[in-house]
Amino acid sequence: MLWLSRITHQPHTDDNMKVTALLIICSWLLLGSLGKPQFPEQEKDPKFWNTWAQRTLKNALTLQKLNKNKAKNLIFFLGDGMGVPTVTAARILKGQLNGQSGEETQLEMDKFPFVSLAKTYNTNAQVPDSAGTATAFLCGVKANEGTVGVSAAAVRSQCNTTEGNEVTSILRWAKDAGKAVGIVTTTRVNHATPSAAYAHSVDREWYSDSEMPAEALQAGCKDIARQLFENIPNIDVVLGGGRKYMFPKNKSDVEYPNILKHSGTRKDGRNLVQEWTDRMKDKKGHYVWNKKQLLSLNPSNVDYLLGLFEPGDLTYDLERNTDSDPSLTEMVEIAIKILRKNPSGFYLLVEGGRIDHGHHEGKAKQALYEAVEMDRAIGRAGLLTSIHDTLTIVTADHSHVFNFGGYTVRGNTIFGLAPWVSDIDQKPFTSILYGNGPGYKIVNGARENVSTIDYQENNYQAQAAVPLSMETHGGEDVAVFAKGPLAHLLHGVHEQNYIPHVMAYAACIGQNREHCLAYSGTAGLRPVFSSIAAILTATRLLC
């Protein structure tokens, strides 16, 4: 309203300004005449807000008793590109899909008791990419952009800088500790985020050997798909896309046999899926490529599962064939039911990877629906596990130059228009906008008039300030949500590579295991000095 008053009360020396002011006032009059209440009637009563705040305060006070149990299970949810504006917009969308105004809704991740911020920069990049960040939150060390599973001493695309600079991930640490491990993603299973869990590659785009330069192959570097099966041969569950990278070049795809771009890509002629199937046939191993096969499995009879549901990335959830393609939630449920059979517990990496792709394409609706689906998967995981022995973390690798604003009224559809037109070009604009990207459009020498197009269509590209074929990442900190054993260690502002160190500490895997003490029944954690003090006390009593 202050913005409006500044416009309507300043001297009008230009006819365009008069027209603009009139249009803005008309917009507000229209909004006021719709008859729809702008917010629930109960919110007019201070008691409503005071009661809500007191209830929240009581819940906060219960957190003073910290959960210091040993984490038997570790679940890491990664919303690729899910910056804070995306979280907020997804919250509103979730509420609106449930018939609410949206702003007051709680995402599943909003219910986590501990929230912190992570600094996302790569060692050589202020605004990061998903490979360097994945190395940070999975391997515990920051790295250069474009590289996975190698330290910052490795140089992108230079094969000879790989050897000696490999770093291992928390998935490996968990496997070495006897836990079951799994990867679930909506992207290719050899994409940037999942690949950092098992691969060591100086180039994130070396998906198969056909994407690698001849000199890299001759120097002994391995493609990422091959590393998925060779570096940690017994990953218990792998679910996602990327089928074509596993099969010999030009081998027809099982689902799209007549589409050449979906055919196999491997120049070495290897059939990695068949090799895996042969190796696992006597180990209760199953390979599936569609939803029906996946959901027909009895997790009690499956110890190893490989599911590749698309030649490349999975389709956007808005476009998903619900008969043939599993949702992220369905994949997560199957994964947990298989992994939790291990008496030592499990580590599960879950990536909502296509949030990022939606933003890159300027398709905010696709991105936000992906985020809502990941939140649904978070809720399902919570129902299948216990906060007492399962540490769950939700975060993003980086943000995007995505935002929403324009003084929209309460309950405004998240994909809708701002309540007034621009005071510069007298045209409406959507609340959602990008700083750059493919949504930059000039029509007849001026900004496109969004009222002439369907701006709520699934693939609408929101307007952007700077023209780019692909929208870019953002460089701000991202939120880290945590619940379960030792979740309180994620507090304040930290470097992104701190995250796997907390998870490993909580589960007594990797380094820093000396703080762990086993008890009959429930396992617990005590600081190292407590153990030393106990020994000294016992010594005094015996002497």
For residue 355, give the nearest of 345, 346, 347, 365 by alpha carbon: 365
Q: With beta carbons less than 8 A apart as the criterion, state whether 388 and 481 touch.
A: no
**351 annotated binding-site participant:** yes
Yes or no: say if 374 and 385 are a contact pair by the CB < 8 Å rule: no
The domain tally of the chain equals 2
Q: Please report whether residue 160 resides in a domain.
A: yes
Residues constituting the chain: 543
What single-letter amino acid sits at 71?
A
Render pLDDT for 10-21 as a digit per residue (tens, 0 to 9). 334 345 444 444
Half-sphere exposure of 229 (CA within 13 A, CB side): 20
Q: What is the mean pLDDT of residues 54-61?
A: 92
Count Cβ atoms within 10 A of the Cβ of residue 298 and give its class: 0-12 exposed, 13-18 middle, 19 or more buried. Answer: exposed
Instruction: Tell me how far apart the alpha carbons of residues 368 and 374 are, in angstroms, rounded to a whole number.
Output: 10
SS3 69: strand
What was the pLDDT predicted at 10? Answer: 39
> Is 192 in contact with 360 (CB distance < 8 Å)?
no
Q: 29 pLDDT exceeds 90?
A: no
Average pLDDT over residues 97-122: 97
Residue 537 has pLDDT above 80, yes or no: no
* 193 is known to lie in a ligand binding site: yes
Q: Is 191 annotated as a binding residue?
A: yes
Domain-located, residue 3: no
Q: Is the pLDDT of residue 138 over 60?
A: yes
Place of tokens 């140089």: 155
Please state the rounded mean pLDDT for residues 438-445: 96
For the cut 50, the answer to whether the pLDDT of residue 94 exceeds it is yes
pLDDT at 4 > cutoff 90: no
CA–CA separation, 527 and 515 (whole Å): 5
* 364 & 481 share domain: yes
pLDDT at 102: 97
Domain membership flag for residue 76: yes
Helix (H) or strand (E) holding 402: strand 402-404
**How far from 535 is each of 68, 100, 112, 131, CA to CA, in Å?**
21, 59, 37, 45
Distance from the Cα of residue 56 to its chain's centroid: 27
Residue 140 structure tokens? 């515990």
Mean pLDDT of all residues in 85-95 = 98
Q: Which residue has the higher pLDDT, 1 or 467?
A: 467
The confidence score (pLDDT) of residue 161 equals: 98
Tens of pLDDT, residues 497-535: 999 999 999 999 998 888 887 533 344 455 443 444 333
* Summary mean pLDDT of the chain: 91
Phi, psi of 347 (to 5 degrees): -125, 130
Q: Is residue 532 part of a domain?
A: no
Q: Is residue 370 part of a domain?
A: yes
Q: Are residues 343 and 459 both part of a single domain? A: no
* 397 marked among binding-site residues: yes
The per-residue pLDDT for 64 is 79
Higher pLDDT, 31 or 67: 67
Does residue 120 share a domain with residue 186?
Answer: yes
**Helix or strand or coil: residue 121?**
coil
The residues facing 286 across adjacent strands are: 305
% of the chain residues with pLDDT over 70: 88
Residues β-bridged to residue 115: 481
- What's the pLDDT score for residue 233? 84
Residue 464: exposure state from Cβ atoms within 10 A (0-12, 13-18, ≥19):
buried
pLDDT of residue 8: 38
117: tokens are: 């911020």
For residues 163-171, give the mean pLDDT. 98
pLDDT at residue 475 above 80? yes
pLDDT value, residue 525: 55
Confidence band for 38, pLDDT divided at 50, 70 and 90: confident
pLDDT of amino acid 527: 46
* 12 marked as part of a ligand binding site: no
Check whether residue 346 and residue 229 sit in a common domain. Answer: yes
pLDDT of residue 528: 43
List pLDDT tens digits, range 179-215.
999 999 999 999 999 999 999 999 999 999 999 999 9
Q: How confident is the model at residue 25 (pLDDT cuts 50, 70, 90)?
A: very low
- Cα gap 140→128, rounded to integer Å: 16
pLDDT (average), residues 140-151: 98
HSE (CB half, 13 Å, CA atoms) of 129?
17
Residue 518 has what pLDDT?
A: 52
- Asked if 391 and 479 sit in the same domain, the reply is yes
Q: What are the tens digits of pLDDT across the range 306-319?
A: 999 999 999 999 99
8 A C-beta contact, residue 205 and residue 243: no
Same domain, 249 and 192: yes
- One domain, residues 424 and 390: no
pLDDT for 471: 98
**Same-domain check for residues 324 and 421:** no
DSSP string covering 7-51, please?
HHHS---SHHHHHHHHHHHHHHHHHHTS---SS-GGGGSHHHHHH
Point out the residues that are catalytic. 130
Domain assignment present for residue 525? The answer is no
| pLDDT tens-digit map of 270-306 | 999 999 999 999 999 999 999 999 999 999 999 999 9
Q: Is 473 annotated as a binding residue?
A: yes
Which residues have C-beta within 8 Å of that of residue 276, sequence separation ≥ 6? 229, 285, 287, 306
Strands 304-308, 524-525: pairing kind: unpaired
Q: Is residue 397 part of a domain?
A: yes
CATH code, 490: 3.40.720.10
| Residue 538 confidence (pLDDT) above 50 | no
Burial class (CB in 10 A: 0-12, 13-18, 19+), 423: middle
Residue 526 inside a domain? The answer is no
Same-domain status, 263 and 379: yes
pLDDT in tens, 367-396: 999 999 999 999 999 999 999 999 999 999
Per-residue pLDDT at 11: 39
Residue 445 sits in the same domain as residue 364: no
User: What pairing do the DSSP bridges indicate for beta strands 446-447 and 442-443?
Assistant: antiparallel
What pTM value is reported for the model?
0.90
Cβ-based neighbours of 116, under 8 Å, separated by 6 or more: 479, 480, 482, 490, 491, 492, 493, 494
Q: Residue 360 sits in which domain range? A: 66-401+475-507
Other CB atoms within a 10 A radius of the CB of residue 85 amount to: 18
**276 plus 185 within the same structural domain:** yes
Selection from 208, 264, 172 nearest residue 504 by Cα: 172
Q: Is the pLDDT of residue 541 over 80?
A: no
What integer is the mean pLDDT of 231-237? 95
Residues 392 and 431 grouped into a single domain: no
Q: What confidence score (pLDDT) does residue 530 get?
A: 40
Tell me the two tokens of residue 210.
């056909």
Provide the pLDDT for residue 476.
Answer: 98
Q: Is 398 annotated as a binding residue?
A: yes
The 10s digit of each residue's pLDDT in 390-427 is 999 999 999 999 999 999 999 999 999 999 999 999 99
